[in-house]
A and B are shown apart, each in its own frame.
Chain A
Amino acid sequence: MKDSLIERYLYAVTKRLPAKIQNDVSNEIEALIDDMLSERCGDVTPNEKDIKIVLTELGSPRELAEKYDTSDKKCLIGAPYYITYKYVLKIVLICVGIGMIISSVISAFVDGFESFDSAGIMLQSVNFWINMITDMFITLSSGLIFGFAFVTLLFAFFYHKDIKIDSEKLDDLPSVPKNKISKADCIVGIAVSVAFAVVFLVAPQIFCVILHGEVFIPIFNVPQIQAQWYFIVIFALLGIVRETIKLIERQYSKRVMITTVVTDICSAVVAALWLFSDKIINMNLALEVTDIFDENFLIAIFSNFNYFFLFCILLALTIDVIETVVKTFKNNN
Chain B
Amino acid sequence: MSVLSQLKEPMYGYSLVKKLQDSGIPIEANTLYPLMRRLESQGLLISEWDTGESKPRKYYRITENGIDVYEKIKKHWFDFSDSINNLLGG
Shortest CB distance A61–B (Å)? 11
- Which single residue of chain A is at the shortest CB-CB distance from B57? A31
Given contacts A67-B34, A68-B34, contact A32 B41 (CB under 8 A): no
A70 proximal to B (CB < 8 A): yes
A27-B58, A28-B58, A31-B56 given; A36·B33 CB < 8 A: no
In the complex the two chains form, what is the Cα distance from A29 to B29 in whole Å? Answer: 10
- Is A59 an interface residue when CB atoms closer than 8 A count as contact? yes
Hey, which chain A residues are within 8 Å of B80, CB to CB?
none
* A30: nearest chain-B partner, CB-CB: B56
Tell whether A29 pairs with B56 under 8 Å between CB atoms, given A35-B14, A36-B14, A70-B41: no
> What B residues does A67 contact at CB under 8 A?
30-31, 34
Q: CB of B10 within 8 A of chain A?
A: no
Q: Which residue of B lies closest to A63 (CB)?
A: B30
A interface residues, tally (CB under 8 Å) = 19
A153 at the interface (CB under 8 A from B): no
Measured between beta carbons, the chain A residues less than 8 angstroms from B58 are: 24, 27-28, 31
A32 touches B33 (CB 8 A): yes
For the complex, give the distance between the alpha carbons of A160 and B34 in Å. Answer: 24
Q: Which of chain A's residues have a CB closer than 8 A to the CB of B41?
A: 70
Q: Complex formed: what's the CA distance from A34 to B15 in Å?
A: 13
Contacts of A57 in B (CB 8 A): 28-29
Size of interface on B: residues with Cβ below 8 Å to A: 17
Partner of B29, one of A25, A36, A68: A36
Which residues of B4-52 are within 8 A (CB) of A? 12-14, 28-31, 33-34, 37-38, 41, 49
**A28 to B57, alpha carbons, bound, how many Å?**
7
| Segment 66-81 of B: residues with Cβ below 8 Å from A | none
B29 near A28 (CB under 8 angstroms)? no
Q: What string of 1s and 0s marks CB contacts (under 8 Å) between A48-61 and chain B?
A: 00000000011100
**Contact of B37 with A68 in the complex, beta carbons under 8 Å:** yes
Closest A residue to B31 by CB, please name it.
A67
Query: Taking A68-B37, A70-B38, A70-B41 as contacts, is the C-beta distance between A28 and B13 under 8 angstroms?
Result: yes
Are A27 and B14 closer than 8 Å at their CB atoms?
no
In the complex, what residues of B have CB within 8 A of residue A25's CB? 37
Contacts of A58 in B (CB 8 A): 29-30
Are A64 and B30 in contact (CB-based, < 8 A)? yes
Find chain B residues with CB under 8 A from A68 CB: 33-34, 37
| Chain B residues in 8 Å Cβ range of A35 | 14, 55
Chain A 67-80, CB within 8 Å of chain B: the 1/0 string? 11010000000000
B56 touches A27 (CB 8 A): yes
Q: Which residues of A contact B34 (CB under 8 A)?
A: 64, 67-68
Most B CB contacts (10 A, CB to CB) among A27, A35, A64 go to A35
In Å, the complex CA distance between A64 and B28 comes to 11
Query: How far, in whole Å, are A122 and B31 apart by their CA atoms in the complex?
Result: 70
In the bound complex, CA of A68 to CA of B14 (Å):
16
Task: Give CA–CA (A3, B48) in the complex, Å.
Answer: 25
Q: In the complex, A29 Cα to B28 Cα: how many Å?
A: 13
Chain A residues with Cβ under 8 A from B49's Cβ? 27
- A36 / chain B contacts, CB cutoff of 8 Å: 14, 29
**Top-6 shortest CB links A-B:** A67-B34, A35-B14, A68-B34, A59-B30, A58-B30, A31-B57
* Contacts A/B (CB < 8 Å), 28 sampled: A21-B37, A25-B37, A27-B49, A27-B58, A28-B13, A29-B33, A31-B12, A31-B13, A31-B55, A31-B56, A31-B57, A31-B58, A32-B14, A32-B29, A32-B33, A34-B55, A36-B14, A36-B29, A57-B28, A57-B29, A58-B30, A59-B28, A59-B30, A63-B30, A67-B34, A68-B34, A68-B37, A70-B41
Enumerate chain A interface residues (CB-CB to B < 8 A).
Answer: 21, 24-25, 27-29, 31-32, 34-36, 57-59, 63-64, 67-68, 70
